[in-house]
Amino acid sequence: METAILNTPLGFTQIEGNENGIASITVFDEDLQSDIVPEVLQDAVYQLQEYFEGKRTSFDLTLNPQGTDFQKRVWTALQQIPYGKTTSYLELSKTLGDVKAIRAVAAANGKNPLWIVIPCHRVIGSNGDLTGYAGGLHRKKWLLNHESPVKQQSLF
């Protein structure tokens, strides 16, 4: 498994993958410096940089997340949430065909190994609240604001 580190506005991002695809993308607060980007991860680094620069709204990467079949179904459904849009855990459960699976869907969402690329940050509570996020609610809020089609203007 190859590793690359990318400094982002939200912390240091560790990308892991190989010729079979990207296995994980994780954000950390601590400084994880590395200038080496293995060839197999260069496209992922480039696409994430474009995302943070506001130049990319979708990703075209080979993904290889490890999880249960159910988790993979949830992660596939997450990838259908358009950039700049949100959905609720309840709606996601309905999309997957079982409204009673809301807790399992939320748990699978929390186990998402591919930060940003599988956009679990786009899932909110039914009442519009920013509910749990493994990367921290401050990051979820930043990501949703970054993707919002309505940008807040500064008065000064």
Closest CA to 73 of 43, 98, 41: 98
Query: Is 103 a catalytic site residue?
Result: no
Task: Single out the catalytic residue among 37, 48, 120, 143.
Answer: 120
Query: From the CB of residue 102, how many other CB atoms can be counted at a distance below 10 Å?
Result: 18
Closest CA to 74 of 15, 25, 120: 120
Sheet strand arrangement including 21-28? 2-8, 11-18, 21-28
Q: Which residues are catalytic?
A: 120
